[in-house]
Amino acid sequence: MTVPLLTVDHLRIAAVRSGAAVIDDVSFAIERGEFLAVVGESGSGKTAAARAILGLLPPGLRRAGGQIELDGEDLATLSPRRMRTLRGPAVGMVFQEPMVSLNPAISVGAQMAEGLALHERLAKSEIRRRCLDMLARVQIRDPTRTFDAYPHEFSGGMRQRIMLASVMLLKPKLLLADEPTTALDTLTQREVLDLMVELARDHGTSVMLITHNLGLVSRYAQRAVVLQQGRLVETGSVQQILFSPREAYTRQLVEALPRRGVATARRAAGEPLISVRGLKVSFGGRQRLFRHEADVAAVNGVDLDIAAGETVAVVGGSGSGKTTLGRAMLRLIAPAGGEIRFQGRDVTSTHDREFRLASQLVFQDPYSSLDPRMRVGEIVAEPLRHVARLTAAERDRRVAAMLDEVGLAGLAERWPHELSGGQRQRIAIARAIVRHPSFVVADEPVSALDMTIQAQVLKLFGRLQAQYGFACLFISHDLAAVEQVADRVVVMQGGRVVEQGSRDDVFDHPQHDYTKALLAAAPVLDFARPTSVRQLG
């Protein structure tokens, strides 16, 4: 090929104060029209690398060496003024968090028009026309209305499309996409990324996709760069990286991908542990000045049985009601109708102390689910308050044993904020398990974690379940994780169960269209078939 569009040469980024390298001696190149994936876990420096290309490093970081050459121009020698003219027409960026990357106080149209007005000399009507065209191009249903609307009126997926539209409006030569779909559910993720590929192909834009999801890499990228703690581990074609990785770390990443475990026939005979009939949960509509908006049914008539020791996965996109179902089954949200039975007793509206003590919850976000002012040991010990006749010594012993079991031995005196996300999630799991519950709701327990950490936590969870035999409602939009842990799968859409069955049945012979769509959208790495690498312009 000819001269690459972007060459990053021996790049080094260091912290201003300590001089510690965030990116150390990293080199890679992106060809024109190429789709390059930068793969790495948190702390790998992948975001810092992207920001260095834009010349927008956060205040604490600076470039300590190396070169970044874009289209023959060395970005290091450019004046800030020249750099500004490049941002937009030459390099565009889509951020991870669509909920906060659009200015809530400015209309969508005005935000989109900003770039055009800045970089091109166009009449107002022309700008408007181009914006509307681009909104239509990213499949926004009503471009004219969207143009005058404000960001809060749109869902995460729609906002990410708007973001994409406003970036692509300037036809950049290079698009930096920093985990653009991590915050979105599987179906939306697929739609947004497909769109991004199409737009990039139309405009001949090269894409640098930063992600930790190897499924996405295999589906969209042609080449990949693997980073670990600021160092380049491996670079090569996606085929080679995924199927014959040379480096141990890459192998570890690939192996961390969830795979279908052996189907366990854990189903106990007889009465289910917990059984739900016609469960309804609705959220009151907002009380406006003169009218009461209609109630929204988040869960609308769900039937579900969970046997002792069984793992039932609930899958569905955002807004499918899966989280609400989990909360309602724990009686954290009062149901509007239906019945919940625990060991044959009706616990729907009565305050059943035994049920409360036998059920637990593991949260999605390990950062907000631990009290920042309690030490790790105190957090894990707290559930034991409600265990009768437990001496302080016994309690301490159980806490220590539990911490040992989740691999956090000796950390009892630490504060949560001193630990990593994976460690925090282990604390949350320890807190849930320490009282030996018979029913645990796990609400997206690994989706906030890195791939290798996800694998470890899922494995830990499986081991604890085998050991303590609790039943589990595993809520997730990540089908790969579900495939690994679930005995049965329940698919939810719009508050209803559209399909349920054994894991193998649902994954291998999906009946409902929504299930099929979910499965098709899931970025799973299929080891049986070679990946279909998309050929771009």
Q: Which span sits near other proteins by CB under 8 A: 93-101, 199-207, 377-385, 521-529?
A: 377-385
Task: Name the strands in the sheet holding 73-74, side by side, starting at the edge strand that comes first in the sequence.
Answer: 21-30, 6-15, 61-70, 73-74
Q: Which is nearer to other proteins, 212 or 331 (CB)?
A: 331
State the residue for tokens 């107002």: 124
Q: Tell me, by CB under 8 A, how many residues bind other proteins.
A: 25
**Residue 379 one-letter amino acid:** I
Tally Cβ neighbours within 10 Å of residue 244: 11
Could you give the count of Cα atoms lying within 13 Å of 448 in the half-sphere of its Cβ? Answer: 19
Tally Cβ neighbours within 10 Å of residue 283: 13
Q: Which span sits near other proteins by CB under 8 A: 246-254, 381-389, 445-453, 515-523?
A: 381-389
Closest by CA to 444, choosing from 325, 332, 338, 335, is 325
- Is 350 a residue that touches other proteins (CB under 8 A)? no
Q: Which is nearer to other proteins, 174 or 281 (CB)?
A: 281
Residue 443 to residues 110, 146, 341, 451, 475: CA-CA distances in angstroms? 38, 33, 21, 17, 5
Q: Which of 383, 422, 445, 495 binds other proteins (CB under 8 A)?
A: 383
Q: Which is nearer to other proteins, 172 or 383 (CB)?
A: 383
- Is 493 a residue that touches other proteins (CB under 8 A)? no
State the residue for tokens 């965030």: 22
Q: Which of 145, 259, 292, 386 binds other proteins (CB under 8 A)?
A: 386
Q: Check if the beta carbon of residue 13 is closer than 8 Å to that of residue 29.
A: no
Nearest distance in Å: CB 48, other proteins = 23
Residues 398-457 interacting with other proteins (rule: CB under 8 A): 415, 417, 428, 431, 435
Q: Check if the beta carbon of residue 72 is closer than 8 Å to that of residue 3.
A: yes
- Is 324 a residue that touches other proteins (CB under 8 A)? no
- Is 357 a residue that touches other proteins (CB under 8 A)? yes
Q: Which of 365, 396, 504, 505 binds other proteins (CB under 8 A)?
A: 365
Q: Which is nearer to other proteins, 327 or 341 (CB)?
A: 327
Q: What is the largest CA-CA distance in the chain?
A: 79
- The 3 state secondary structure assigned to 35-48 is EEEEECCCCCCHHH
DSSP-assigned letter for residue 105: T
Q: Which span sits near other proteins by CB under 8 A: 106-114, 359-367, 514-522, 526-534?
A: 359-367
Q: Which is nearer to other proteins, 131 or 330 (CB)?
A: 330
The full length of the chain comes to 537
- Is 369 a residue that touches other proteins (CB under 8 A)? yes
Nearest distance in Å: CB 418, other proteins = 9
- Is 12 a residue that touches other proteins (CB under 8 A)? no
- Is 468 a residue that touches other proteins (CB under 8 A)? no
Q: Which is nearer to other proteins, 118 or 332 (CB)?
A: 332
Q: Backbone phi, then psi, for 141, in 5-degree steps?
A: -60, -45
Q: Which span sits near other proteins by CB under 8 A: 263-271, 305-313, 368-376, 526-534?
A: 368-376
**Residue 147 one-letter amino acid:** F
Q: Which is nearer to other proteins, 145 or 417 (CB)?
A: 417
Is residue 438 helix, strand or coil?
coil
- Is 97 a residue that touches other proteins (CB under 8 A)? no
Is the CA virtual torsion 334, 339, 345, 350 positive or negative?
A: positive
- Is 363 a residue that touches other proteins (CB under 8 A)? yes
Q: Which span sits near other proteins by CB under 8 A: 196-204, 254-262, 303-311, 380-388?
A: 380-388
Q: Which is nearer to other proteins, 266 or 356 (CB)?
A: 356
Q: Which is nearer to other proteins, 228 or 359 (CB)?
A: 359
Closest by CA to 63, choosing from 13, 9, 8, is 13
End-to-end CA, the chain? 14
Q: Which is nearer to other proteins, 172 or 416 (CB)?
A: 416
Tally Cβ neighbours within 10 Å of residue 391: 8
- List contacts with other proteins (CB under 8 A): 330, 332, 353, 356-357, 359-361, 363, 365, 368-373, 382-383, 385-386, 415, 417, 428, 431, 435
